[in-house]
Amino acid sequence: DQPWHKQPSKAPEEAPRSPKPPGKAAKSAVSLGKLPKEELPDFLKPQLAIEAFTPPTGANWIHELKLDGYRIQAHIDHGKVKLFTRRGLDWTHRMRPVATALAKLPVTTAILDGELCAVRPDGTTSFADLQASFEHGERRPLTYFVFDLLHLDGHNLRELPLLERKAIVEKLLTQLDHPQIQISQHLQGDANAIFQNACSLHAEGIVAKRGDAPHRATRSPEWLKLKCIRQQEFVVGGFTLPSNAIHGVGALLLGYYNDQKQLIYAGRTGTGFDAKTHAMLRDKLNALRQAKPAFQRVPSEAQKGVLWVKPELVAQVTFTTWTADNLIRQAAFQGLREDKPAEEVRREEPTVAPSAKQERGRMPMTQAAIKPTTQSSIAARVATKKKTTEDSAPVRLTHPDKILDAASHLTKQQLANYYWAIAPYMLPHITNRPLSLVRCPEGSGKPCFFQKHVNHTLPPGITGTPVPDKKTGKIEQYITLSTPEALAGLAQMGVLEVHPWGSQNDDLERPDRIVIDLDPDTAISWSTLCDAAADVRDRLKKLGLTSFLKTTGGKGLHVVIPIKPKHEYAAVKEWAHEFV
């Protein structure tokens, strides 16, 4: 099956058929006389998307396949075409066949916004293939997917709703009928179902856009990108040599810049290279060698055998997640980016997508603005695939739509689903221990309280463990749990924090972990806090102790030290005090 976007039916070298006269398509698509007049602008600052954790809700969103290529703004002026990167660099000479095709578009002047991609036989797009086409002259099917129209025949279209702009450009591209120039098609409907189904079909993700919004020349919450796999740019700050002595690299050391313009180490990647990439990277990196690292700090264990380089190259990398040590996991090299300066590379942080309630007060789209789009087979599969409930927590909730956190619009049902999803990772750290729970039954903005004792209001699966009161000697039942169902059931109680003891139920007086709690004053910067955590871990390592870093859920950090439960709390506390 072909995914979402149609496959080219002709070879890229074939000439398109003769276009219709300039301006004719535009007049048939919209009355341009009502739109503001303007001279053809210079390069326009593009609208960029914010990465989101969750798909948006509400009826005014459209959803496009997330493409893996170069953002290109095409300027057409009386048959002459210039192609600009998102930074405004003129790359017309690098993609001449696309410029030649766009020159035959039936317009006098126009500015198109889209993505240049290498399309694989299965219909997916590949940045690695695109780079191979540029760098090695390899034959790849390059396609320009158009998703916006910003200017047309002397008129400014940027205040029109996105759906209207897309409808106009789709008519133009239909008249052009060239295999290398395609419309970036979209779907409307349940965003979560579209996203999940796109991921199941091995797409990179989706971009959700407000169909009723004008063009915004900034990074806007009206465009949201949701990735099935995580991907972003990183700065190359060093490399190791390959073990087989070839002219190539073993691994790349990667980083990103923080707000203080410091290069932060983010881990390494040693996969994704082929023979040509090995040689190309080695040549480029050899020319950038320097004696000292550009990183603010690199863990000592990551410095072995590293050759440092000037931080000038930007690598596109896929990875699964960030670890607790703020390093990328299972990273794979995709290619070098030449359209983004190294100093602009930042760590991409997902946000929470808007909900329907946040959209109240907006004018609804007119029926005329909601125009049908023809989808290829993958779009139909994404739209019609049945939504499953396997990710929903199997627990009974009263008022599942109740908002527990106003800032993120987290509902009770979403909290239960979250606990259910992370149970395999969370349970090993809280099972068979007394727990203190922070309950916020009326939401995080209202008074919250601790609960540690068992009572009759607890949901099924939560049990008690006997703990003697040190003052009275009375045995009290403290909360404990051990199953995913019980963990998910905490949502019914409005539990937003779970605090486990440092010892287990069968040996309460002998802890099996020590926690160094770094709880900063508001004047302490995040970078200083991170340096403090790194210093603590280095000192522990010198003592032969392995430690792990975790966030506290607030603004601090915990350094957690697993130990064998051989000593009672008094002795462990004394050791911790002496260490501090």
> Of 269, 202, 204, whose CA–CA distance to 238 is shortest?
269
For residue 472, the domain's CATH number is: 3.90.920.10
Report the C-alpha gap between 334 and 331 in whole angstroms: 10
Q: Which of 6, 45, 66, 387 is catalytic?
A: 66
pTM over 0.75: no
Q: What is the mean pLDDT of residues 337-349?
A: 88
Directed axis angle between helix 191-200 and helix 377-384, to 10°?
Answer: 120
* Domains: count for the chain: 4
Instruction: Return the pLDDT at 571.
Output: 95
Instruction: Return the pLDDT at 216.
Output: 93
Instruction: Return the pLDDT at 129.
Output: 81
Instruction: Return the pLDDT at 438.
Output: 94
Q: With left for phi above 0 and alpha for psi between -120 and 50, is residue 508 left, alpha or beta?
A: alpha
pLDDT band for position 171 (50/70/90)? very high
Instruction: Return the pLDDT at 364.
Output: 29
**546 in a domain, yes or no?**
yes
For residue 543, the domain's CATH number is: 3.30.70.3300
**364 in a domain, yes or no?**
no
Residues 198 and 247 in one domain: no
Instruction: Return the pLDDT at 463.
Output: 85
Instruction: Return the pLDDT at 479.
Output: 93
Tell me the per-residue pLDDT of 181-219, one tens digit each, with 9 for 90 and over: 999 999 999 898 898 888 877 777 899 999 999 999 988
Residue ending a domain, choose from 228, 262, 279: 228
**166 in a domain, yes or no?**
yes
Instruction: Return the pLDDT at 358.
Output: 42
For residue 279, the domain's CATH number is: 2.40.50.140
Instruction: Return the pLDDT at 353.
Output: 55
Instruction: Return the pLDDT at 6.
Output: 42
Instruction: Return the pLDDT at 133.
Output: 81
**355 in a domain, yes or no?**
no
pLDDT band for position 71 (50/70/90)? very high
Q: What is the mean pLDDT of residues 247-275?
A: 91
Instruction: Return the pLDDT at 30.
Output: 53
167 pLDDT above the threshold of 70: yes
Percent of the chain with pLDDT over 70: 86
Tell me the per-residue pLDDT of 418-454, one tens digit each, with 9 for 90 and over: 998 888 888 889 988 999 999 999 999 889 999 999 8
Q: What is the mean pLDDT of residues 523-528?
A: 90
Report the C-alpha gap between 25 and 337 in whole angstroms: 36
Q: What is the mean pLDDT of residues 56-71?
A: 91
Determine which of 69-83, 91-105, 246-260, 393-407 has the lowest per-residue pLDDT on average: 393-407
Residues 213 and 269 in one domain: no
Instruction: Return the pLDDT at 350.
Output: 63
Residues 163 and 54 in one domain: yes
Q: What is the mean pLDDT of residues 97-120?
A: 94
Give the CA dihedral 211, 213, 216, 218, nearest 10 degrees.
-60
DSSP letters along 77-110, please? Answer: ETTEEEEEETT--B-GGGSHHHHHHHTTSS-SEE
Residues 40 and 103 in one domain: yes
**213 in a domain, yes or no?**
yes
Residues 70 and 117 in one domain: yes
pLDDT band for position 377 (50/70/90)? very low
**303 in a domain, yes or no?**
yes
Residues 324 and 418 in one domain: no
Tell me the per-residue pLDDT of 215-231, one tens digit each, with 9 for 90 and over: 999 888 899 998 887 78
Residues 127 and 178 in one domain: yes
Residues 117 and 202 in one domain: yes
Instruction: Return the pLDDT at 139.
Output: 65
Tell me the per-residue pLDDT of 458-498, one tens digit each, with 9 for 90 and over: 887 788 888 888 788 788 889 998 888 889 999 999 999 99
297 pLDDT above the threshold of 70: yes
Residues 111 and 219 in one domain: yes
Domain that holds residue 150: 24-228
Determine which of 63-67, 301-305, 320-324, 360-364 has the lowest per-residue pLDDT on average: 360-364
Coil, helix or strand for 530? helix
Report the C-alpha gap between 49 and 234 in whole angstroms: 18
Directed axis angle between helix 275-286 and helix 127-136, to 10°?
Answer: 70
pLDDT band for position 354 (50/70/90)? low
Q: What is the mean pLDDT of residues 133-149?
A: 83
404 — phi, psi (to 5°)? Answer: -100, -15
Residue ending a domain, choose from 337, 355, 374: 337
Instruction: Return the pLDDT at 522.
Output: 83
Determine which of 73-82, 360-369, 407-416 has the lowest per-residue pLDDT on average: 360-369
Instruction: Return the pLDDT at 19.
Output: 39
19 — phi, psi (to 5°)? Answer: -80, 170
Coil, helix or strand for 150? strand
> Of 524, 546, 526, whose CA–CA distance to 536 is shortest?
546
Instruction: Return the pLDDT at 393.
Output: 84
Q: Does residue 573 carry a catalytic annotation?
A: no
73 pLDDT above the threshold of 80: yes
Residues 498 and 518 in one domain: no
Residues 133 and 251 in one domain: no
Instruction: Return the pLDDT at 20.
Output: 41
538 pLDDT above the threshold of 90: yes
Determine which of 3-7, 110-114, 443-447, 503-507 has the lowest per-residue pLDDT on average: 3-7
**131 in a domain, yes or no?**
yes
What does pLDDT average to over the chain?
84
Residue ending a domain, choose from 337, 353, 370: 337
**133 in a domain, yes or no?**
yes
Comparing 506 with 361, the larger pLDDT belongs to 506
Residues 496 and 535 in one domain: no
For residue 130, the domain's CATH number is: 3.30.470.30
Report the C-alpha gap between 514 and 566 in whole angstroms: 13
Q: Could you say which DSSP state residue 123 is in?
A: S
